[in-house]
Amino acid sequence: NAGVTQTPKFQVLKTGQSMTLQCAQDMNHEYMSWYRQDPGMGLRLIHYSVGAGITDQGEVPNGYNVSRSTTEDFPLRLLSAAPSQTSVYFCASSKRDRLNTGELFFGEGSRLTVL
């Protein structure tokens, strides 16, 4: 199994450009999420999904859109990139577990720079 795959690994954008960060998992996990990590800070939740067709906002959702049309894919869209969105983005997935014991599997990250 490939686990959680993120593309691209690196991207440079100009302010105002739009782009999509791709995330795919092959573990049939119901739950997927996007985090951003800034220097000196822990990861912060952007958006998450508990299944196909269901998404919700996390801690820092502004400037980002998501959709979940399949179980496998959970793309993150930047509508109009801003320098404040320069960060490393991580996608994660887990089985949906009512006992709250789900181990999160993370991708290797996508490093985004907005000029």
Nearest CB to other proteins, comparing residues 26 and 108: 108
User: What's the min distance (Å) between Cβ of 58 and other proteins?
Assistant: 7
Residue 16 in contact with other proteins, rule: CB under 8 A = no
For 41, the token pair is 């800070």
| Binding residues with other proteins: total (CB under 8 A) | 33
Name every residue whose Cβ is closer than 8 Å to that of residue 9 and which is 6 or more positions away in sequence.
108, 109, 110, 111
Please classify residue 68 by burial: count the beta carbons closer than 10 Å to its beta carbon, then call 0-12 exposed, 13-18 middle and 19+ buried. buried
Looking up tokens 């983005």 gives: 89
User: What's the min distance (Å) between Cβ of 63 and other proteins?
Assistant: 20
* The binder of other proteins chosen from 98, 112, 113, 114 (CB under 8 A): 98
Please classify residue 30 by burial: count the beta carbons closer than 10 Å to its beta carbon, then call 0-12 exposed, 13-18 middle and 19+ buried. middle
Name every residue whose Cβ is closer than 8 Å to that of residue 39 and which is 6 or more positions away in sequence.
none
* The binder of other proteins chosen from 12, 53, 54, 79 (CB under 8 A): 54
* The binder of other proteins chosen from 13, 31, 47, 85 (CB under 8 A): 31
Which stretches of the chain bind other proteins, using CB under 8 A?
4, 30-31, 33, 35, 40-45, 48-50, 54, 56, 58, 90, 92, 94, 96-98, 100-109
